[in-house]
């Protein structure tokens, strides 16, 4: 399921495992290659192993098995302060007794840079995050967003080739979070820095990343660019975790090349692309995005199966209409349509026919129990 193998990148996890108690593996046989200059996000629910991977890369945790390489060199036994990696955390981790300028100068002092070099690099880093006028302030005099900008500047000030970020925007409000998402992405690409970013926020992962590694149960479920991840999930977990998604359970009736005909548990027939299923009689979970559901027969191909649906709720959301339907026993089947003059506004209780293009729908494996 994981696209990454042993091809050598700037950062490489080679068969890495991690256990805290000697029995349960928090990270299971991880193979991952990150290219120089890539912005990779590790995305997953709490306990999926993503933060543990970041901490092993930073040097704050030790791999139980396997090897981590940075620019071709094994770093398992190199202490964190000698790895030359920039770090940004959710809680900013700024020294409260130091000014902003002193906070930024500290990692440069540790590396033995002279005063004039330190001053020049601190100024450059502050200008990069639009905080050039705040050098003499203390962290307590700054807002949360300003503190996070300073934390980012401190991670960049010694010009590392690799920066690790652990939920750096989690404590900020929505608008500021979105602003900083774009600023961080722009800076990382402009400076050519390899970035490994950990989050449980799928929107953050999709908008910021070159590639996203979706973690669950200590393993990468899928590694792909954001659009591929959203449009072509490789299993039920990824389909359900990334974006809003409708699911209907059923049994594969037939497979004709690129199209599987699925008999839903209510007896209705639907069309989908087979992914991780191979033969008639197999149980499957059909997955379709709300914006790909059609109630307009003219937009569907000749011969495509349609299915009856009862309108339960119609919600006006400005740019889109969100219609909640009862479909094949599922009361929370969502259809999203753009707000346009020709779009119908459905009344609750109305019976309609819906369908979708088979290429937009997946017939996936059922999620593993437990």
**Over the stretch 328-368, which tens digit does the pLDDT of each residue have?**
989 999 999 999 888 889 999 999 999 999 899 999 988 76
Predicted confidence (pLDDT) at residue 301 exceeds the cutoff of 80:
no
Mean pLDDT of 117-145: 89
Report the run of H or E that residue 149 belongs to, with start and end. helix 144-156
- pLDDT of res. 172: 80
281-to-49, 186, 192, 224 alpha-carbon distances in Å: 35, 49, 50, 30
Tokens of 99: 């000014």
Mean pLDDT of 193-220: 95
What residues have CB less than 8 Å from 362, skipping those under 6 apart? 232, 233, 239, 272, 273, 275, 286, 287, 288
Banded pLDDT at 7 (limits 50, 70, 90): low
Point out the least confidently predicted range of 6-15, 55-64, 159-168.
6-15
- pLDDT of res. 107: 85
C-beta of residue 366 within 8 angstroms of C-beta of residue 251: no
Predicted confidence (pLDDT) at residue 201 exceeds the cutoff of 50:
yes
Predicted confidence (pLDDT) at residue 113 exceeds the cutoff of 70:
yes
Q: Are strands 259-264 and 65-70 parallel, antiparallel or unpaired?
A: unpaired
Distance in angstroms (rounded) separating the CA atoms of residues 309 and 64: 52
**Over the stretch 73-107, which tens digit does the pLDDT of each residue have?**
999 999 998 898 999 887 767 888 999 999 999 88
Instruction: Count the Cβ atoms, other than its own, within 10 Å of residue 26.
Output: 19
φ/ψ of residue 283, rounded to 5: -75, 145
Mean pLDDT of 143-172: 88
φ/ψ of residue 177, rounded to 5: -60, -45
Q: Which residue has the tokens 């027969």?
A: 297
CA nearest neighbour of 197 among 229, 155, 230? 155
- pLDDT of res. 280: 93
Predicted confidence (pLDDT) at residue 274 exceeds the cutoff of 80:
yes
CA nearest neighbour of 101 among 130, 125, 84? 125
C-beta of residue 297 within 8 angstroms of C-beta of residue 366: no
Percent of the residues in the chain that have a pLDDT greater than 70, as a whole number: 97
**Which residues are registered as beta bridge partners of 222?**
214
Mean pLDDT of 48-66: 95
- pLDDT of res. 348: 95
Mean pLDDT of 200-210: 93
Q: By three-state DSSP, how is residue 245 classified?
A: coil
Predicted confidence (pLDDT) at residue 321 exceeds the cutoff of 80:
yes
Mean pLDDT of 286-303: 86
| 11-236 CATH fold | Rossmann fold (3.40.50)
Predicted confidence (pLDDT) at residue 300 exceeds the cutoff of 80:
no
Tokens of 160: 């590392």
- pLDDT of res. 148: 87
Q: Are strands 361-364 and 283-288 parallel, antiparallel or unpaired?
A: antiparallel
- pLDDT of res. 2: 41
Predicted confidence (pLDDT) at residue 1 exceeds the cutoff of 50:
no
**Over the stretch 21-48, which tens digit does the pLDDT of each residue have?**
988 999 999 999 999 999 999 999 999 9
Distance in angstroms (rounded) separating the CA atoms of residues 46 and 120: 40
C-beta of residue 65 within 8 angstroms of C-beta of residue 15: yes
C-beta of residue 121 within 8 angstroms of C-beta of residue 170: no
Q: Which residue has the tokens 């995050």?
A: 129
Tokens of 77: 């036994």
Distance in angstroms (rounded) separating the CA atoms of residues 4 and 122: 37
Burial of 39: CB neighbours in 10 Å, binned 0-12, 13-18, 19+: buried
Give the residue extent of every domain in the chain: 11-236, 245-364
Query: What's the predicted TM-score (pTM) here?
Result: 0.86
| 245-364 CATH fold | OB fold (Dihydrolipoamide Acetyltransferase, E2P) (2.40.50)
C-beta of residue 44 within 8 angstroms of C-beta of residue 214: yes
Q: What is the mean pLDDT of the chain?
A: 90
């Amino acid at each position: 399921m994981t696209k990454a193998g042993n091809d050598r990148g700037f950062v490489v996890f080679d068969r890495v495992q991690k256990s805290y108690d000697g029995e349960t593996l928090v990270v299971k046989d991880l193979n991952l290659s990150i290219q120089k200059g890539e912005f990779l996000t590790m995305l997953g629910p709490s306990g999926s192993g993503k933060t543990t991977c970041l901490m092993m890369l930073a040097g704050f945790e030790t791999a139980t098995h396997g090897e981590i390489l940075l620019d071709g060199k094994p770093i398992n036994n190199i202490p964190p302060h000698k790895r030359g990696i920039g770090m940004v955390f959710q809680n900013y981790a700024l020294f409260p007794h130091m000014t902003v300028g002193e906070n930024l100068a500290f990692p440069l002092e540790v590396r033995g840079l002279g005063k004039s070099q330190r001053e020049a690099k601190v100024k450059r880093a502050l200008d990069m995050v639009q905080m050039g006028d705040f050098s003499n302030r203390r962290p307590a005099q700054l807002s949360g967003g300003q503190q996070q900008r300073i934390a980012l500047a401190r991670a960049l000030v010694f010009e590392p080739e690799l920066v690790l970020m652990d939920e750096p925007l989690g404590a900020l409000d929505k608008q500021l979070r979105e602003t900083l998402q774009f600023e961080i992405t722009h800076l990382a690409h402009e400076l050519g820095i390899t970035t490994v970013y950990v989050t449980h926020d799928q929107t953050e992962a999709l908008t910021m990343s070159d590639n996203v590694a979706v973690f669950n149960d200590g393993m990468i479920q899928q590694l792909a660019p954001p659009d591929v991840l959203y449009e072509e999930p490789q299993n039920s977990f990824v389909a359900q975790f990334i974006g809003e998604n409708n699911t209907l359970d059923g049994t594969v009736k037939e497979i004709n090349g690129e199209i599987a005909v699925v008999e839903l548990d209510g007896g209705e027939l639907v069309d989908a692309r087979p992914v991780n299923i191979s033969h008639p009689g197999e149980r499957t979970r059909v997955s379709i995005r709300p914006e790909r559901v059609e109630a307009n027969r003219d937009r569907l191909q000749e011969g495509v199966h349609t299915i009856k649906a009862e309108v339960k709720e119609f919600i006006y959301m400005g740019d889109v209409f969100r219609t909640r339907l009862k479909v094949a026993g599922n009361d929370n089947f969502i259809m999203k349509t753009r707000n346009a003059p020709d779009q119908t506004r459905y009344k609750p209780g109305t019976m309609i026919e819906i369908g979708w293009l088979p290429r937009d729908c997946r017939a996936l494996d059922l999620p593993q129990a437990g």
